[in-house]
Structure 1
Amino acid sequence: MAISSGLRNKLIAAAGGGAMLITTIFLGGKGGVEGREYVAYKDVAGVWTVCDGITGQGVIRNKTYTDRECDQLLWNRVSLVKAQVDPLVQVPLGEYQRAALYSFTYNVGIGAFSKSTLLKKLNAGNVDAACEELRRWIYAGGQKWRGLMNRRDMERSLCLAEAADDLAGK
């Protein structure tokens, strides 16, 4: 699944804001890859989740979250992911590539990312092969999921885009 034209335009506009802004736009709000849910629910793996894929002890069941609360939770989580991912990456990357890694790690967790073949290939300098590794991460609860396949395809597109022109298909 390709990145929708609306999301693509938002990502191109965010390019000057860096990987953090690109990631929050990619993940968050209406039209983001996570989808926004204002009341906690159990995801396909049985994990309590709210807003834009936020999980963990801070998720309050039966609470209705506001857009402002969801935006803050998303920014806090992406900031944490950035702080965890950046020290592990030993090669220079563009902002879209970093955003793809942040999105991926946001979804699978730092433990999985830190031990992944994706990171090994990336740090060996094979960025394209690392981006291709994203397509392998399509399982949740032991099953292949169409939603994860779509998400990984979009993350791969973001990862392979070195500049806004690449993302726009120019």
Structure 2
Amino acid sequence: MSGVVSGRAAGLVGSVLAALALAVATIAPWEGKRNEPYRDPIGILTVCYGETRVPMRRYTDAECTAMLESGAAGFMEGVRRRNPGIVEYPHQWAAHTSLAYNIGQSAYDRSSVARLFAEGRQVEACRFMNRFVYAGGKKLRGLERRRAAEVELCLKDAR
């Protein structure tokens, strides 16, 4: 019995690590990295990889990377809390995490993406990400491209 439990635990750890690596790799290029604080397209003060929840000061590359990894892990946990079954699907988990990182945890928790996944409508949930392309009431080409990448990642293990 302990072999089954430890095998299952190892599988979960592998899923967590895979999803985190995919999420970080997805988030980083879309957020971009600036070590100095700047205003994002809708005027929100931001630093490093789109971080808004830290003191606005200059950060080193290592600090930005650590912040991204920690932030992604936190959003990943929030996505798991909202939809526990997502741990079985590392590509979807990473895509949902990237979306949550970008729109915020509470917006993700209320989203149709999260609801559709919870209802077992995985493909629809993935495709619904394409609706999150507005910021400040404006449709942004960068968000359209980001969502297309998230949908592509999400669909890799959607059923």
TM band (smaller chain): 0.7 to 0.9
**Does the alignment pair 1:91 with 2:85?**
yes
Please identify, of 127-136 and 33-42, the stretch whose mean Cα deviation from structure 2 is larger: 33-42
Q: Does 1:106 align with 2:101?
A: yes
Letter of the structure 2 residue corresponding to residue 84 of structure 1: G
Cα distance in 2 for residues equivalent to 1:72 and 1:52: 10
Q: Matched residues in 1 for 2:79 and 2:85: separation?
A: 12
Cα deviation per residue 1:74-133 (whole Å; 9 max; x = unaligned)? 011112112211011143441111000000000001111111111111111010000011
For 2:56, the equivalent position in structure 1 comes to 60
- Asked if structure 2 preserves the Cα contact closer than 8 Å seen for 1:91 and 1:125, the reply is no
- Count of equivalent residues: 143
**How high is the sequence identity, in percent, across the aligned residues?**
33
Is it true that 1:117 corresponds to 2:115 in the alignment? no
Q: 1:161 to 1:21 in 2, by over 3 A?
A: same
- TM-score norm. by structure 1 comes to 0.78
Equivalent-residue separation in structure 2 for 1:84 and 1:35 (angstroms): 23
Quick check: which has more Rg, 1 or 2?
2
Structure 1 residue aligned with 2:139, among 138, 141, 144?
144
CA RMSD of aligned residues (A): 1.8
Q: Is the 8 A contact 2:46 2:56 kept in 1?
A: no
Tell me the amino acid that sits aligned with residue 19 of structure 1: A
- Which consecutive unaligned segments of at least 5 residues does structure 2 have? 1-14
Partner Cα distance (1:35, 1:59) in 2:
18
Q: Secondary structure at the match of 2:66?
A: helix
